[in-house]
Amino acid sequence: MAPRPLSPLVLALGGAAAVLGSVLFILWKTYFGSGRERRWDGGEAWWGAEPAGLPQWDEWDPEDEEDVEPALEELEQREVLVLGLDGSGKSTFLRVLAGKPPLEGHIPTWGFNSVRLPTRDFEVDLLEIGGSQNLRFYWKEFVNEVDVLVFMVDSADRLRLPWARQELHKLLDKDPDLPVVVVANKQVRAVGGWPRSAGLDPRCLGPGAPERGSGLDPWPAAQG
């Protein structure tokens, strides 16, 4: 039987997906510049900031603090990619970090969202790529470009936990050295708490995954 020609709808959808991917990639390159060396060091705090520590009582001098404050333009940059299935709470997470109130209802991200947070030593760029099925294809193109991956999981969405796990594994396969933080979001809504049987326990992430920093970091739910 002769192969059936592709319908115009399929061709149009394929073309649109290719254009969207190219646009995302160009925007990413424009935003973050060309490829970079990851500057992760296991001895550092999770995005490279110095581990917090209170100064000794007799050492503390407020004037010293002012002396060492680096100018904003001198700050190094760290890139954090925020991924997770659609509706897992990525945009909300970014909004809350930026000091904005969470939005009512789910407004899907069709491209990407970003937030820049100056810390004492670094400028941290957090970048969300939308989690809808057609955008997930492009996630893997970005993992090699960032310092840390934050993978957001909706703890209340038990039915899709295996999908979330599968997507996370694809990313881990793409970059085995990528430091990962798994955020179990919406825990208050997940009846019975975190469903360990669903397979997103860090011990289920695959060989070596927990040792390289993967884990569940309960996110204080924005809305419960």
Ligand X SMILES: Nc1nc2c(ncn2[C@@H]2O[C@H](COP(=O)(O)OP(=O)(O)OP(=O)(O)O)[C@@H](O)[C@H]2O)c(=O)[nH]1
Residue ranges of the annotated binding site for GTP are: 84-91, 131
SS (H, E, C) 23-57: HHHHHHHHHHCCCCCCCCCCCCCCCCCCCCCCCCH
Which two three-digit tokens encode residue 220? 């204080």
Rounded Cα distance between 224 and 222, Å, is: 6
- The verdict on 132 binding ligand X (CB under 6 A) reads yes
Query: In the complex, what is the shortest distance from the CB of residue 96 to ligand X, in angstroms, rounded to a whole number?
Result: 8
- The verdict on 106 binding ligand X (CB under 6 A) reads yes
18 binds, among ligand X, Mg ion, none (CB under 5 to 8 A by kind): none
- The verdict on 204 binding ligand X (CB under 6 A) reads no
Are the CB atoms for 173 and 143 separated by under 8 Å? no
Measured from the CB atom, the residue of 102 and 215 that comes closer to ligand X is 102
Residues in the chain: 224
Binding ligand X (rule: CB under 6 A), the pick from 108, 111, 162, 193 is: 108
Per CB under 5 A, the segment of 26-34, 68-76, 101-109, 167-175 that binds Mg ion is: 101-109
Are the CB atoms for 179 and 212 separated by under 8 Å? yes
Measured from the CB atom, the residue of 10 and 103 that comes closer to ligand X is 103
- The verdict on 114 binding Mg ion (CB under 5 A) reads no
- The verdict on 5 binding ligand X (CB under 6 A) reads no
Known binding-site residues equal 84-91, 109, 131
Write the DSSP assignment of 97-116 as a string of letters. HTTPPPPSS----SSEEEEE
Query: In the complex, what is the shortest distance from the CB of residue 129 to ligand X, in angstroms, rounded to a whole number?
Result: 8
Strand order in the sheet with 122-129: 112-118, 122-129, 76-83, 148-154, 180-185
The CA-CA-CA angle for residues 94, 157, 109, to 5°, reads: 35
- The verdict on 222 binding Mg ion (CB under 5 A) reads no
Which two three-digit tokens encode residue 69? 């404050």
Rounded Cα distance between 55 and 153, Å, is: 36
- The verdict on 84 binding ligand X (CB under 6 A) reads yes
Measured from the CB atom, the residue of 185 and 209 that comes closer to Mg ion is 185
- The verdict on 109 binding Mg ion (CB under 5 A) reads yes
Site for Mg ion, rule CB under 5 A: 90-91, 109
Site for ligand X, rule CB under 6 A: 84, 86-92, 102-103, 105-109, 130-132, 185-186, 189, 221-224
